[in-house]
């Protein structure tokens, strides 16, 4: 009975969303540009925090799931520990792709259920397709005693609230600057800084920072980030910081809509 009720509720929600979209004929797909506090407030709504389905055309991956006891949100991706959040995982070396998977979310289907997790670490010894989970996340797809189970998985938009965040690595200065993108809904494909009136792409390193070896200057800085759907956010007036966060003004839409 609860399953049928859930299906009816989901159908109703989808219908309401369709009506809402039809009521806004001026909305256009494509890049999303930041620039106002109003945009940031909208991105932090409860609706934005709801779990999202995979985007159309998202590839299905296959492999095996395992778990590791010391999963705490930290790891190769360089994120701070989040001990109260068990829905984290380490991606195999191949799909980690030099940190490109960091901060993205995946929906994993296992023998006994499914779970959405955020990628925070790398599993160097895991074969392509495998994901190493927090034990509590593993327990949602299979008994922990199983240890290793077959899975399928897809990338999904993360259920985040609020705008993207630019974290400056400790030691950042005008002559060597490293920036990490946090709290992003979709995986980050490209990061650029404006210098001398032109956008300059900044290289990403395998510990999940975009590092400008020659520095980004005194600031304030202007950034442009592109996610894997092709959506774009631009932020200006970002202060140069050292081991600190600067919030952006907006958040990526799910699936680039």
Can you give the pTM of this predicted structure? 0.80
Confidence grade of residue 204 (pLDDT, cut at 50, 70, 90): very high
Token pair, residue 59, equals: 């590839």
What's the pLDDT tens digit per position in 131-154? 999 999 999 999 999 999 999 999
Judge whether 135 lies within some domain: yes
pLDDT of 83 strictly over 80? yes
128 vs 9: which has the higher pLDDT = 128
**Predicted local confidence at residue 57, as pLDDT:** 82
**Domains identified in the chain, total number:** 2
For residue 212, being part of any structural domain is answered with: yes
Q: Which residue has the higher pLDDT, 44 or 103?
A: 103
What's residue 10's pLDDT? 37
Which among 156, 175, 190 is the end of a domain?
156
Can you give the pLDDT at residue 218? 96
Give the residue numbers spanning the domain of 80.
61-156
């Amino acid at each position: 009975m609860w399953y049928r009720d859930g299906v009816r509720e989901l159908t109703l929600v989808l219908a309401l969303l369709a009506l809402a979209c039809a009521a806004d004929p001026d909305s256009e797909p494509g890049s999303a540009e930041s620039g106002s506090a109003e945009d940031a407030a909208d991105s932090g709504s409860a609706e934005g925090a709801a779990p999202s389905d995979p985007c159309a055309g998202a590839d299905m991956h296959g492999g095996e799931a395992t778990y590791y006891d010391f999963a705490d949100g930290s790891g190769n991706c360089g994120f701070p520990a989040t001990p109260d959040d068990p829905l984290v995982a380490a991606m195999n070396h191949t799909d980690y792709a030099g940190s490109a998977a960091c901060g993205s979310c995946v929906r994993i289907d296992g023998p006994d259920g499914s779970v959405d997790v955020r990628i925070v670490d790398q599993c160097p010894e895991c074969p392509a397709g495998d994901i190493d989970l927090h034990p509590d996340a593993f327990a949602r797809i299979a008994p922990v005693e199983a240890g290793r189970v077959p899975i399928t998985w897809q990338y999904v938009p993360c259920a985040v609230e609020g705008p993207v965040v630019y974290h400056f690595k400790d030691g950042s200065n005008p002559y060597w600057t490293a920036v990490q993108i946090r709290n992003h809904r979709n995986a980050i494909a490209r990061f650029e800084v404006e210098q001398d009136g032109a956008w300059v792409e900044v290289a990403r390193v395998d510990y999940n920072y975009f590092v400008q070896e020659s520095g980004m200057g005194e600031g304030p800085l202007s950034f442009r980030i592109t996610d894997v759907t092709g959506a774009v956010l631009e932020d200006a007036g970002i202060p140069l910081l050292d081991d600190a966060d600067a919030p952006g003004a907006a958040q990526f839409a799910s699936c680039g809509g």
